[in-house]
Structure 1
Amino acid sequence: MIKKVIEIKKGTDASDEVELSWFDMQKPNLTAVSKAGVNFVIKAKFTHLHENDILVCEDNYAIKVSRCADEIFVLEFSDALTFAKTAYEIGNRHQPVMLEEFKIIILDDISLSDIIKECMANENINVEKTKGYFKPNGKAHHSH
């Protein structure tokens, strides 16, 4: 049986937990399985999920949201022009990014695989695939 989440609360007790990626927490419609094996569905109108949100189901079953580490690429640049060109290309794909000085961090996403391949072939870019907590700059991943 699939439970339906009817409310999102803060600061209340929960009897179960679900680990979600940054991307999954942005989805307005989500189905997932909690750590206790409970299937649930949520339709979060006008918002997205946050760490420590409590998802309350129709039968008052409560599930706490926690973040899991995301599969990310860390791109480190040796020069400003390569950094700017790569940032421009990723931006044209409307992908969320974490920007730091001469560093771009992006989610492992198939829509960026060609850019990642080009970066790996460029001697001015160090590419590392790792796991980490993704927190994009600004209001990334918005809708038009």
Structure 2
Amino acid sequence: MRRATHLTGDIEPSATVTLDHGARHRRRLRLTTDQGAEFLLDLPEARALREGDVLALDDGTAVRVRAAPEDVIEVALAEPLELARIAWHLGNRHTPVQILPGRLRLHPDHVLEAMLAGLGLICERHRAAFDPESGAYATHNHGRHDHDH
């Protein structure tokens, strides 16, 4: 079985693999590309794979990671100060949050939805890719890559 052992920026991907947020944080897992080919994700350490990451396979090919649509809730906020305040409340609960222009996206959770409603906000349910912030101490976060290009 082919193995994906690291991320790359040097190989043009010939396939894609679509995974939800939970499946994108792995070290070792048997996967099937969207085109039907099986391979083994076999990274040296567990990591959060992001939308657009490219996995290098041991046969010289590459697979692009896609974020699968999943159930999410979104809170729209017009004011930057309000966005920061709500992000702080969610971060204080260690909740994975995706920050988008003028809104926050998170997994559905009735406790968090009640908290947000109590703060006067409206939560809207959607199906969308969920790609939350990886955190300040993560080895791979937005805007910084720890692999060669």
Question: If the TM-score is normalised by the length of the shorter chain, which range does it land in?
Answer: 0.5 to 0.7
CA shift for structure 1 position 12? 1.4
Residues 8 and 55 in structure 1, CA contact (< 8 A), matched pair in contact too: yes
2:49 equivalent in structure 1: 49
SS in 2 for 1:36: coil
1:96 equivalent in structure 2: 96
C-alpha distance in 1 between matches for 2:62 and 2:12: 7
C-alpha distance in 2 between matches for 1:52 and 1:99: 19
Residues 4 and 55 in structure 2, CA contact (< 8 A), matched pair in contact too: no
Amino acid of the residue matched to residue 21 of structure 1? Answer: D
C-alpha distance in 2 between matches for 1:85 and 1:65: 30
1:115 equivalent in structure 2: 112
Residues 74 and 124 in structure 2, CA contact (< 8 A), matched pair in contact too: yes
CA shift for structure 1 position 130? 0.9
1:63 equivalent in structure 2: 63
CA shift for structure 1 position 87? 4.5
Residues 96 and 140 in structure 1, CA contact (< 8 A), matched pair in contact too: no
Amino acid of the residue matched to residue 96 of structure 2? Answer: P
The number of residues matched between the two structures is 135
SS in 2 for 1:30: strand
Report the more deviating stretch, 10-19 or 92-101: 92-101
C-alpha distance in 1 between matches for 2:101 and 2:9: 35
SS in 2 for 1:45: strand
Residues 75 and 104 in structure 1, CA contact (< 8 A), matched pair in contact too: yes
* CA pair 34-85 structure 1, distance change in 2 beyond 3 A: closer
Residues 78 and 125 in structure 1, CA contact (< 8 A), matched pair in contact too: no
C-alpha distance in 2 between matches for 1:25 and 1:19: 9
- TM-score normalised by structure 1 residue count: 0.62
Structure 2 matches for 1:1-144, cutoff 5 A?
2-46=1-45, 47-50=47-50, 51-57=52-58, 59-76=59-76, 84=85, 87-88=88-89, 90-99=90-99, 103-108=103-108, 112-116=109-113, 118-119=114-115, 122=118, 124-137=120-133, 139=135, 142=138
Residues 78 and 124 in structure 1, CA contact (< 8 A), matched pair in contact too: no
2:147 equivalent in structure 1: none
C-alpha distance in 2 between matches for 1:129 and 1:45: 36
- TM-score normalised by structure 2 residue count: 0.60
Task: Give the RMSD, CA atoms, in angstroms.
Answer: 3.9
Q: Which has the larger radius of gyration?
A: 1
